[in-house]
């Protein structure tokens, strides 16, 4: 599971994240919501051991993200939005295999896992083709497979459906639900409120680096007497959403 305790990150006197605290249990999807620049990606990068917190602590399966960085990385799967970072000259199979080997998997484990993932993410038709000419959706699915090929217990997903068409998005959403069924702890960042309501057990709303609200969808709708989560979100973060 994930435990975040008063986690902060400052860049040259700019407070990107300010003393945020939340948790994610096994078999739970927690949505991280906020406008661009709110601190979502910085938070995920600290949990992924890519950035060291300025203050506060975070634990992944009981491991300190600063003191036990290597062991933490072995138990997490990371997927950030934007460029997927695949090797264009390699096939989808070769890209996934390379990262599986980096995670210490043997040939039999790699073969069985790739068969499972290519079926789950509907990649069988192009698993042996070079990724250079793939569509955005095809590349994203390969990137997801690469990120979780070692079957991590913790998933950090930053807008995994960004730029995907409806069909590809549904496949990714189905995959995320499967991860929940497999008892993984998942942090899911998205700009789609419909997607968040469909997938998340709880949400954490960040504004200007700090948490302004958190709880289940049902709890927030009841608390603010509003069935429209987008309106609740807008009211909480004010008029600072980018147009």
Pairing of strands 185-189, 154-158: parallel
Residue 52: HSE in the Cβ half-sphere, 13 Å Cα cutoff: 5
Is 1-39+48-75+154-202+210-243 assigned to CATH 3.40.50.300?
yes
Domain with CATH 3.40.50.300 in the chain: 1-39+48-75+154-202+210-243
Residue 136: HSE in the Cβ half-sphere, 13 Å Cα cutoff: 12
For 171, residues 6+ apart whose C-beta sits below 8 A from its C-beta are 121, 122, 141
Range from 50-54, 93-97, 156-160, 166-170 carrying the lowest mean pLDDT: 166-170
Per-residue pLDDT averaged across 189-212, rounded?
Answer: 92
- Residue recorded with tokens 């989560």: 229
Pairing of strands 202-207, 28-33: parallel
pLDDT classification of 82: cutoffs 50, 70, 90:
low
- Residue recorded with tokens 């986690």: 7
Pure H helices in the chain:
40-47, 69-74, 92-102, 107-120, 136-148, 166-181, 193-199, 217-223, 229-237
Q: Provide the 3-class DSSP secondary structure of residue 237.
A: helix
Query: What's the start-to-end Cα distance of the chain, in Å?
Result: 36
Q: Tell me which H or E stretch contains 206.
A: strand 202-207
C-alpha–C-alpha distance, residues 147 and 149, integer Å: 6
Range from 15-19, 138-142, 152-156 carrying the lowest mean pLDDT: 138-142
Adjacent-strand bridge partners of 155: 77, 186
Note if the pTM is more than 0.85: yes
Cα angle: 35, vertex 214, 221; to 5 degrees: 95
- Per 3-state DSSP, the chain is made up of helix, strand and coil in percentages (nearest 5) of 40, 25, 35
Whether pLDDT at 243 is above 70: no
């Amino acid at each position: 599971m994930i435990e975040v305790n008063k986690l902060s990150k400052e860049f040259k006197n700019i407070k990107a994240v300010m003393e945020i605290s939340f948790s994610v249990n096994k078999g739970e999807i927690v949505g991280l919501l906020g406008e661009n620049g709110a601190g979502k990606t910085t938070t995920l990068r600290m949990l992924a051991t890519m950035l060291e917190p300025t203050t506060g602590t975070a634990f992944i399966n009981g491991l300190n993200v600063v003191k036990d960085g290597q062991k933490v990385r072995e138990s997490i799967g990371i997927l950030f939005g934007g460029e997927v970072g695949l090797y264009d000259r390699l096939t989808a199979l070769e890209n996934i295999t390379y990262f599986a080997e980096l995670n210490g998997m043997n040939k039999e484990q790699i073969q069985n896992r790739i068969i499972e993932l290519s079926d789950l993410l509907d990649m069988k038709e192009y698993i042996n083709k070079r990724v250079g000419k793939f569509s955005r959706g095809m590349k994203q699915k390969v990137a997801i497979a690469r990120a979780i090929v070692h079957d991590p217990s913790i998933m950090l997903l930053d807008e995994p459906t960004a730029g995907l068409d409806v069909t590809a998005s549904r496949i990714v959403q189905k995959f995320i639900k499967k991860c929940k069924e497999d008892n993984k702890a998942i942090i899911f960042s998205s700009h789609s409120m419909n997607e968040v309501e469909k997938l998340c057990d709880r949400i954490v709303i960040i504004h200007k680096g700090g948490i302004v609200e958190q709880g289940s969808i049902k709890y927030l709708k009841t608390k603010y007497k509003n069935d429209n989560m987008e309106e609740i979100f807008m009211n909480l973060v004010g008029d600072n959403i980018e147009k």
